[in-house]
Structures are given as C-alpha cells and as structure tokens.
Amino acid sequence: MSGESWIGFPRAEATVECGGASHRVRWERGRLLTLDHEDPEAERALAALGGEPCACVALLDAWARYTTDVRMLVLGTRGGSDVIPPPDRADPFAGVMHVAGRPTGPAPLPGQAEGEAEARELERIASLLSLGGGLPRRLLATVAANWRERLLAPDGAEDEELSGVRARLEAALYGRALASLATWLEVNELELDFEPLPEDERPALSADPTGRLRARLPFGWMVDVWGRGLETIWGRFCLSAATSDGVHWELLTVGPDLADPAVIRVELPALPEPPGRP
Amino acid sequence: MTAAAGFDAERYLRLMGERLLVSGDRNRQRGPFGDTRLGNAAKALVAVDAIDAGLAQSVVDDYLTAGAMRESGGRVHRLMRFGPRSGPPAVPAAPTVSRLARCHGVLEEPSGTIECRYALLTSERVEIGVTWRAPPSRTPRRRQRGPHGPSAPHGTGVTATDDRGKSVSCSFTGGGSEFVMTGRFVSTDPLSVETAWLELDGTRLYLERPPALQPVKIAPLTNGSPAHRYLWHTLASGDRWHHNVDIESLIDVLIDAGALTLDDPVLDGVRYVANGRRGPSHPLRGASTGPQRLPETVPPEWRSVLTRTRPAGAQEGSLIVGVTTPEFDAGRVTITELLADGNGFSAEVAIEYNRGGNPFTAARVDESWVVWWAADDRGNWFRGDVGQWSGGGGAGQGTVEFHAALDRHATELRLMPATLRERAVITIPLDWDAEP
C-alpha cells in the first residue's frame, strides 16, 4: 500500500527493550521506523558477521514478515479493552533476523522442532500484537489494507489464496464491527446479522422489528474506519471515513436510534512533526 | 438430512468464534478436556458433512489460540494449541490380547487376600487381574481411611514367575475402597506367552483357556439422519465429570446448518432424554415442568435406560472375555474382563484409537469419540461411563462402568463401543466364573 493511502492515519509510537536500553519505534505513513538506530541495514550486516542481534531491527523484520499474514487478523485485538498481554520472554524477536552461519545446536527430536518453532512464532506474534502505543492496530490495518488490495484487484476472482481466506477476512471484519457496536451501545452480547459489501456500495446499519441489528459493511471499513480508531464519533457509529488530505474529513455516521445516516464534516489542522528521526 | 446446500460452515464457525471472543465467553465454555462451545459446534457440523474435519479443527485452533493469547502473558505452553495434534500416539499402544487365560487362585497375605482371576500375556508385558480384600478382622468401624486413601494391596507388588523360570516384579494398578480393591498386577517385562502356569510369590496358578466367543461384528450406524445420530451420540457421552454439553446450542447449530428443522419430532425425544440426564432442576427449552410422557421418538436403548426397574435377582460375578475387535471407526477395542457386583457391572477395556482420542469426549474435532452401550438378552439396555482410565492421545485402558444391575437370568450380553459411524458388537455368553 502506498504512502498516499495512509493519509489520515495518526502516527503511533512504542518503546522496545534493545541492548539494555529503551528504544523507540514509530509507525508513520505505513512505515515502521527505528528512531534510535540510524542504519538498520548496517545493524543487519553486523549481526550477520557475528555481532549481537538488535531487538529493534528484529522487530522491523518481524513486522515486515507479518504484514500480509491473515492470522494476525484472527489473533489481534478487536479494539477497546481487548488487549493482548506481552509475552514473558525477554527476546521474543530473537530468531527473526536472518543470521547466516550461526550454530543451530543439537538436532531436535522428531516433532520437537515443529512444536518449538510454532511456540516461538506465536510468542513473536503476541509480541507484535502487544506492542502498545497504537502499533498493533496499525499492523492489523496494514494486513487488512494488503488484503483489500487483493479483493479489489481485477483478477481477484481467480486468486486462490484469497478464496481460501475469505471466511477469515469476513470474520475479522465482523468481529471488529461487533466489538465496536457492543462498546458503542454499551451491551455485552449483541445479536448482529452481518452482510459483507463490495467496496463501492454504501454501508448501512439498521435493526429489524425485534431490535436485532443488521450491519452492511465493506471489508475496507476495517482499514478506513477501525484502523484509524474512528468507530464512533460524537456518540455516533461511523460507517465510512474519507479524506484526501488528512485535514478535511467526511464521516458517514448513524446515531443510536439508527435513523438515516448523517455525514459529519470535520477539519483536523495539520499537526507539527514530532521529535525524532523522520 | 445433512447440511443445506450453500451453507458456509467455515464462515458460520468463524463468526461464532468472533462472538465468543468478543463476549469474553471463550473460557466459560471450555470443558474439562479442552472441548469448547465452538469445538462442539464444529463437531456437529462435521457430523452432518457440512465441513471437513481438518478445516473445522483449524477454525477451532485459531480461536483457542486467540483466547489463549489474551490470557497467557505469552507463555509458550499456554499458547500452544490445545489437545494432541495429529500424529503418532502419545503413549505406547494399549496391550492387545496375545494370550488371555483364566487363573483361579487366592494368595493369603497379612494385608488380606488377593484373588487372581486372569493373566494377560503379551510379548511386551504381563498383567494379572486381581481382587484384594481386607482381612475379616478389619471391621469398617475400626478401620479409618488414611490421609492418602486406601493403599495398594500387598505393598507395592508381587513377583510373578513362569514355567521357564523367569521372574518379574509386578506393580498394582487399580482402585476401590479400603476393604475391596480391583485391578491388575502389571509388569512391562514380559513372561512366556506359552507358560502353563504362573507363580505369584510362590503360589502357583494354572492357566486355563477361556471360552471361545462369537466373532465380533462391526455394524455401520445408519439409523436416522446424521444430525439425529450426532445428538443421540452426544447424549450417550460420559458424564463422569458432570460435563454435559449444552444440547440446545447443538440443536441451534444443526438448525442453522439446515440439517434439522425446528419442528423435527425427534427433538422432543432428544430434549426429554437430555432433561432426564440433567435432572429436573435444569429444565431445557421447550420442556414442560411437570411429568412428561415418554416421547415416541425416544429410541429403544434410551427407552430401556429411562424406564428400567431393578431386576428381582441381580448378577454378581466375574468372567474373562479376552477379545479384540477388528479395526473399526474407533480403532481397536480389547475387552479383558466383565465384573458384576449386584449394583451394576463393568468391563475392563483397552483402546488403540485410529485417530487419537480420549475416553471422555472428543477434545479435537477429528478424534475418535467412543460411547459405550450394552444390551442383555432380556431386552435391557445399559449406557456406560468411563471410570478409572490411564493413557491418552493414541491409546488408553481402564474401566467402563454400567450403573444398573445386570439381571441374573440374562445369559448373554452384547457390549457395543460406538462412534458416530460404526459400532462393534461383542457378544459375551454370561458363564460367570466367580464372585468378583
């Protein structure tokens, strides 16, 4: 996804234990940056030559590895109070950096290597999904954006991998819409009928005579609305969010009475650049 | 009736997983063996051919992992997927019958008497089935259970010797009260399979051939629809841990899938039986609170279980069975012995699962899931629960208990371990050997 497409996504920043110090990582316009490492490529080269692997750079590599992994949408936060706790391990990203020539230890028992590799991978995923500072949501928005591109591609109907994950994508959208609606309406369990829409159709939220909700949302809602943290505004549920410059916004919203949707137009002044490496 | 055309079972399960995750219901619905509301729904949909078992299991694994990730603090052992993965058995295979022999004899010991009933000799191990009784001088009033419960009979074990002169140490495994315990002396160091006798701590026991049995029959289960069979099978699952699946949730899933209709008359019978198993304090949806007439859709085996009265004469005794089924949908089942004590009866069994499993329920969607039925030649049916059990994953052995007295006029019993697809019918002539 291009930098242009990330307009309107606020920066997010978290700290990482790296070499005995707290280092900052920042997400900005679709890219993850290590603010305390001038040259990640050089760090990788040093590690390849036997230097100490660097946690920040390993985090960059792990991030890049999972930006198209649909499992992240299954495992990651649904928003609000749904928080993934960080793993216990001090070096969850160890093993992510590709370091050639390192000793690998004794040969594992049959099945042991697979089990340990799976456990390590889950720890790594849990580490990414528990980074804090808004980074997990940016990661999930990135994964969702990458899959939306494939959904929109002209040859999407012939994309076998996409066919295999459609149910997971739909569930990812449903779960986040459900969590957002439950928080908005202040109910613990919500009956929600759900219809995924093509990206170019107008989303809607309605209720049947029994009060059962029916949401019609495109998968892109997860990127454009949920990814930006715009699920509710002024007590209204946001069905879509559009901006061309990150300053002027049009938000299609619906109130708790589920009456006709209304567009909210807001203007967000350009914010100053934060300190740190751009 | 199977699932309706166009029903997307993966989507259905994933949306259910999302609802459970968002509502925070992921823990409350986990049973004692890792089964979950989502897992039970997945099994129901597999049973009606709405989804492949592997795909259903992957959905369940996804949401178990998502749930674990929210609880664990990232600990590896909790983030690992629940339940055994497909692959080789987690424990050594259960013993199959190489030679099972009667061996009547009594060892008089200061700690009590040990009555020997059978010997199982294989190329890997030896087992001697025994009943230990406390000495008559010990009265219930004088004896108090120790802080650690009853101790094993005869200390830690006995020495068994075959007619070739080889001796092995056997340890006791089994259970019971402080006055009577049943179980086995086991050694994983084998003795001669051809030996004419065994000596236990110097007491010689001659080995006799048990009576031959009819061949085991394997019968496919085709009665009713797959949805009906699934519900009845679920109801027949053991409730040893007071673990009752929410049958209404399963009915909802099967209706959603188009495999059942709301007005299906079989549901009256299912609810009646489920209500009977849960007790009157837990009425089910649609069930009246007063006494109900037995619905016509309750099948004969359940009708027998629900209406049975205690027989005028209850059987007590033991008999050696010594049969291993051919491989069927559950795997291979070995029945060693049948014991009747006047209040019920039990079978000593071993299973080599062909898809992994545990004796209580199928924790994984693709596991073998065995329930136990028995029927005598007087029209009585019995549902079995697993009692003592050891093993897991690929194999296990233990006791299946039937909590109703066996009529002493019965001359034949059919034991029927069953999965959703097949059951084995093991016909046992009731020629009792001895008091248990």
pLDDT at A107: 53
pLDDT in tens, A71-120: 999 999 999 889 999 887 655 565 554 433 343 444 555 556 667 788 88
Check A174 against B15: CB less than 8 A apart. Answer: yes
B345 neighbors B394 (Cβ within 8 angstroms): no
Q: How far is A92 from chain B (nearest CA, A)?
A: 10
pLDDT in tens, A201-257: 999 999 998 889 999 999 999 999 999 999 999 999 999 999 998 899 999 999 999
% of residues, chain B, pLDDT over 90: 44
Q: φ, ψ for residue A251 (rounded to 5)?
A: -115, 120
% of residues, chain A, pLDDT over 70: 87
Check A123 against B70: CB less than 8 A apart. Answer: no
The β-bridge partners of B434 are: B318
Residue A257 lies in a domain: yes
Give the highest mean pLDDT range of B298-307, B353-362, B425-434.
B298-307
Q: Please say if the pLDDT value at position A144 is more than 50.
A: yes
Q: φ, ψ for residue B300 (rounded to 5)?
A: -55, -40
Q: How far is B54 from chain A (nearest CA, A)?
A: 14
Measured at the CA of A167, the angle between CA A162 and CA A172, to 5 degrees, comes to 105
Check B73 against A170: CB less than 8 A apart. Answer: no
pLDDT at B388: 81
d(CA B25, CA A254) in angstroms, rounded, equals 28
pLDDT in tens, B342-375: 899 999 998 988 776 665 555 678 777 889 999 9
pLDDT at B288: 45
Residue A275 lies in a domain: no
The β-bridge partners of B168 are: B160
What ipTM did this prediction achieve? 0.90
User: What is the average pLDDT score of chain A?
Assistant: 87
Q: Is the pTM of this model over 0.90?
A: no
Q: Coil, strand, or helix at residue B44?
A: helix
d(CA B318, CA B337) in angstroms, rounded, equals 7
Average pLDDT, stretch A133-153?
Answer: 95
Record the tokens describing residue A212, joined without a space.
């059962």
Interface residues from chain B to A (CB-CB < 8 Å): 8, 10-11, 14-15, 17-19, 21-24, 62-63, 65-66, 69-77, 79-81, 87
Average pLDDT, stretch A46-69?
Answer: 87
Report the half-sphere exposure of B137 (CA within 13 A, side-chain side). 4
Residue in B with minimal Cα distance to A180? B22
pLDDT in tens, A180-193: 999 999 988 788 99
Domain of residue A102 covers 3-267
Residue in A with minimal Cα distance to B80? A119
Residues in B closer than 8 angstroms to A194, CB to CB, are: 15
Residue A278 lies in a domain: no
Q: How far is B280 from chain A (nearest CA, A)?
A: 28
Check A167 against B11: CB less than 8 A apart. Answer: yes
pLDDT in tens, B149-186: 345 555 668 899 999 999 999 998 887 788 888 888 99
Nearest to B73 among A88, A119, A167 (CB): A88
B158 neighbors B200 (Cβ within 8 angstroms): yes
Number of domains making up chain A: 1
pLDDT in tens, B187-234: 999 999 999 999 998 899 999 887 778 889 999 999 889 999 999 999
A184 neighbors A257 (Cβ within 8 angstroms): no
Residue A259 lies in a domain: yes
Record the tokens describing residue A145, joined without a space.
């954006």
Residues in A closer than 8 angstroms to B87, CB to CB, are: 111
Q: Please say if the pLDDT value at position B82 is more than 70.
A: no
Nearest to A89 among B74, B77, B87 (CB): B74
User: What is the average pLDDT score of chain B?
Assistant: 81
d(CA B84, CA B82) in angstroms, rounded, equals 7
Q: Which of B211, B228, B218, B236 is nearest to B264 (CA)?
A: B228
Q: Please say if the pLDDT value at position A70 is more than 70.
A: yes
